[in-house]
Chain A
Amino acid sequence: MFGVAVAFAPAFVASGYALNAITMTLYAALLAQSWNILAGFGGQFSFGHAVFFGTGAYAMAVLQVKFGWNAWAALAAALAFGAAVGAFVGLLTFRYGLRGSYFALVTLAFAEVFRILANTFPFTGAGVGLMVPLRASAFDLQPASRAGYLYFILVFVLASLLISLWLKHSRYGAWLQAVRDNEESAAALGVDAFRVKLQAIVVSSTLMAAGGAFYVQYLHYIDPHLAYGPGVSVEALLGAIVGGLGTVWGPLLGAGVLHVLGEATRGLVGDAPGVNLVAYGIVLILIVTFMPHGIIGLLRRRPPTKLAHA
């Protein structure tokens, strides 16, 4: 239903500004959904989700610009690279049983390592970054109209929503949430916690890489700070936490609320750098302190799920 509503939006919304706003909100929602799958359903709080985003973005840009790949092939490769980096990080961290704060720190460090690498090697354009030339054809995955980009990102957001719905209702999802709530008990009942977490991080990182690939196609530019800097990691976790961790619709709702909030702060204080982020930071603190179940938690009488105690 949501998908149908958004899909028809271009027919009713004529202004480029509104379409851009919807597209960017969907983009933020995709990042938040990706983070939510690992943290909300799996209980693993990543502070370096940019490592997957940046890998998707760079795969998309480098393969097109330096190797002359077609954009659709590059997109497939970007998703594969995202999944591979997710599997790599997951294998290392979960194999050695890192949890909680330690997991957050290691993901942050991985993002930093990738940022420095991207900043150093010439084939990523080093510190200057990479420009993806404007082609404006569906064959090059650069739709001629803004509506085309909206469909592009909508496909991935729908996919992430379906995955979240599936996590809510499937056996695998039950395993994942059991591991989140109490890993020892889940393991005692025969759940392979390592494998379940590994699968979750691969799904999450693939979606995050899709976000990176979209970013490159939409804005035609990427550099090490945009790709691997802390900004993207924070954006991903904010949407999920504000909306409601471990819920299907929370990240989407959170992304929408944050977009409106960001625009409102800009309108009130002016377009100075950092202003919207100050508002985001305050919202993050307030939500964690007073509404640990996010906005969704307010809408429901009872909290949707019991979050894991550390």
Chain B
Amino acid sequence: MLELSILFPSVLNGLTTGAVYALIALGLTLIYGVLHIINFAHGAALMIALYGVYFLHQALGLDPYVSLPIMVPAMFAVGYVLQRLVIGASSHGKDENILLVTLGIAIVLENLALYWFKSDTRTIDTPYTLATVDILGALISAPKVVALFGALGTAAILLLIIGRTDLGRAIRAIAKEPLGARLVGIDVDHVYAMSFGIGLACLGAAACFLLPAYYVNPTVGNGFVLIAFTVVVLGGMGSFAGALVGGLLIGVVESVGGLWLGESLGQIGIFLIFIAVLLFRPQGLFGSRV
């Protein structure tokens, strides 16, 4: 058995990583809950956001956390335009088409990044990159603790938008009954695009919290996208609470699994959970919808 002194920091570390997974998964689950599409371009969009934060830091010297008010609206705009002009136009009412088009977007974004920025892995240097916080004797990276609270804050804002605003009411109406929503005068295409935009705005926030302790390269999104799918499936497609809990859980599984099996095999636990949940409990732990 592992010593508690090793296990405790590992669990804490997993929670902080899991918070970022949760943030990424929140965007994915919103898009799924409303549009009933699986956004394969989610990882590529996160990669674009990370490059955005990186270049804001390199070119303008902006601190990643200061970039938040720029990156969140910017990613929102990207998402709105993508849904309105590309994805919405292609669906012809078929799920498969949307799968393929978001996959196509992912391929294009990833390889444009490869072409422009080359495959170099880039990191930024901030005064607090290596700072740590002492939590009951466990040393946890400070940017990761910030990410944990950032993710929780973003989730709270998201819940407020969905629960308390007119837009949120429209989103919930469409998630339940798109035709009925159209009949009572809701601009469905606009709300679809808003939802997709908000989903990507979550990625803008995630990128700002992620980069101080992470890196960016053209394929960085791939590592996250399957994990985000796992989180969403585990938590129940379209459930916000599920995405939060699922994200934290997956973070801990990865971190603790890595202790037992080593870095490389540790990730396998995530995919095995993913396959098992899809097979045996496809509605997830929290089967509710948005």
Q: Smallest CB-CB separation from A121: which chain B residue?
A: B265
Cβ–Cβ contact A281 & B115, under 8 A: no
List CB contacts (< 8 Å) of B78-94 with chain A: 86, 89-90, 92-94
Inter-chain CA distance A105–B103, complex, in Å, is 12
Inter-chain CA distance A280–B100, complex, in Å, is 12
Say yes or no: is B147 at the interface (Cβ < 8 Å to chain A).
Answer: no
Q: Interface stretch among A25-33, A52-60, A268-276?
A: A268-276
- Given the known interface contacts A101-B38, A116-B267, A289-B89, the answer about A281 and B105 at a Cβ–Cβ threshold of 8 Å is yes
Cβ–Cβ contact A284 & B115, under 8 A: no
Whole-angstrom distance between the Cβ of B30 and the nearest chain A Cβ = 16
Cβ–Cβ contact B99 & A285, under 8 A: no
Residues of B within 8 A of A106 (CB): 274-275, 278-279
Inter-chain CA distance A77–B289, complex, in Å, is 46
Say yes or no: is B104 at the interface (Cβ < 8 Å to chain A).
Answer: yes
Q: Smallest CB-CB separation from B95: which chain A residue?
A: A310
- Given the known interface contacts A47-B103, A285-B90, the answer about A110 and B279 at a Cβ–Cβ threshold of 8 Å is no
Cβ–Cβ contact B101 & A274, under 8 A: no
Residues of A within 8 A of B92 (CB): 292
Inter-chain CA distance A184–B103, complex, in Å, is 28
Best-buried of B99, B107, B118, B278 by chain A (most CB within 10 Å): B107
Cβ–Cβ contact A272 & B90, under 8 A: no
Render A75-110 as a binary contact track against B, CB cut-off 8 A, 1 for contact. Answer: 000000000000000001100101011101110111
Cβ–Cβ contact B264 & A100, under 8 A: no
Interface magnitude class on chain B: 35 or more
- One of A105, A273, A278 near B119 (C-beta < 8 A): A273
Residues of A contacting B: mostly? helix
List CB contacts (< 8 Å) of B97-149 with chain A: 97, 99-101, 103-108, 110-115, 118-119
Cβ–Cβ contact A278 & B101, under 8 A: no
Inter-chain CA distance A285–B87, complex, in Å, is 9
Whole-angstrom distance between the Cβ of B15 and the nearest chain A Cβ = 23
Say yes or no: is B73 at the interface (Cβ < 8 Å to chain A).
Answer: no
- Given the known interface contacts A112-B226, A234-B107, A274-B111, the answer about A96 and B233 at a Cβ–Cβ threshold of 8 Å is no
Cβ–Cβ contact B97 & A102, under 8 A: no
Cβ–Cβ contact B93 & A285, under 8 A: no
Residues of B within 8 A of A47 (CB): 40, 99, 103
Residues of B within 8 A of A92 (CB): 275, 279
Cβ–Cβ contact B119 & A98, under 8 A: no
Residues of B within 8 A of A309 (CB): 93-94
Inter-chain CA distance A292–B282, complex, in Å, is 29
Inter-chain CA distance A255–B263, complex, in Å, is 38
Residues of A within 8 A of B222 (CB): 230
Cβ–Cβ contact B282 & A45, under 8 A: no
Whole-angstrom distance between the Cβ of B236 and the nearest chain A Cβ = 13
Inter-chain CA distance A244–B94, complex, in Å, is 16
List CB contacts (< 8 Å) of A242-269 with chain B: none
- Given the known interface contacts A106-B275, A281-B105, the answer about A101 and B95 at a Cβ–Cβ threshold of 8 Å is yes
Inter-chain CA distance A108–B225, complex, in Å, is 11
Say yes or no: is A241 at the interface (Cβ < 8 Å to chain B).
Answer: yes
Say yes or no: is B209 at the interface (Cβ < 8 Å to chain A).
Answer: no
Cβ–Cβ contact B278 & A102, under 8 A: yes
Cβ–Cβ contact A45 & B99, under 8 A: yes
Residues of B within 8 A of A289 (CB): 86, 89-90, 101
Say yes or no: is B157 at the interface (Cβ < 8 Å to chain A).
Answer: no
Render B250-272 as a binary contact track against A, CB cut-off 8 A, 1 for contact. Answer: 00000000000000110110011
Q: Smallest CB-CB separation from B115: which chain A residue?
A: A274
- One of B37, B105, B233 near A105 (C-beta < 8 A): B233
Cβ–Cβ contact A288 & B115, under 8 A: no
Cβ–Cβ contact B38 & A117, under 8 A: no
Say yes or no: is A182 at the interface (Cβ < 8 Å to chain B).
Answer: no
Say yes or no: is A120 at the interface (Cβ < 8 Å to chain B).
Answer: yes
Cβ–Cβ contact A113 & B265, under 8 A: no
Inter-chain CA distance A200–B265, complex, in Å, is 32
- One of B95, B104, B226 near A284 (C-beta < 8 A): B104
Inter-chain CA distance A289–B95, complex, in Å, is 13
Whole-angstrom distance between the Cβ of A284 and the nearest chain B Cβ = 4
- Given the known interface contacts A120-B264, A272-B115, the answer about A277 and B107 at a Cβ–Cβ threshold of 8 Å is yes
Whole-angstrom distance between the Cβ of B244 and the nearest chain A Cβ = 20
Render A117-129 as a binary contact track against B, CB cut-off 8 A, 1 for contact. Answer: 1011000000000
Residues of B within 8 A of A117 (CB): 268
Cβ–Cβ contact A284 & B268, under 8 A: no
Inter-chain CA distance A272–B117, complex, in Å, is 11
- One of A96, A100, A281, A288 near B111 (C-beta < 8 A): A281
Whole-angstrom distance between the Cβ of B107 and the nearest chain A Cβ = 3
- One of A109, A277, A284, A310 near B274 (C-beta < 8 A): A109
- Given the known interface contacts A278-B115, A284-B104, the answer about A112 and B271 at a Cβ–Cβ threshold of 8 Å is yes
Cβ–Cβ contact A277 & B111, under 8 A: yes
Question: Could you jot down 12 A-B contacts, CB within 8 Å?
Answer: A96-B280, A101-B99, A105-B229, A105-B274, A109-B226, A110-B275, A120-B265, A278-B111, A280-B107, A285-B105, A289-B90, A307-B96
Rank and list the top 6 A-B pairs by shortest CB-CB distance, nearest first. A281-B107, A274-B111, A274-B114, A281-B108, A284-B104, A310-B95
Known: A104-B99, A281-B105, A281-B108. 17 other contacts (CB 8 A): A93-B279, A98-B278, A105-B233, A106-B275, A109-B271, A113-B271, A116-B268, A120-B264, A273-B119, A274-B112, A274-B113, A274-B114, A278-B107, A278-B111, A281-B104, A281-B107, A285-B105
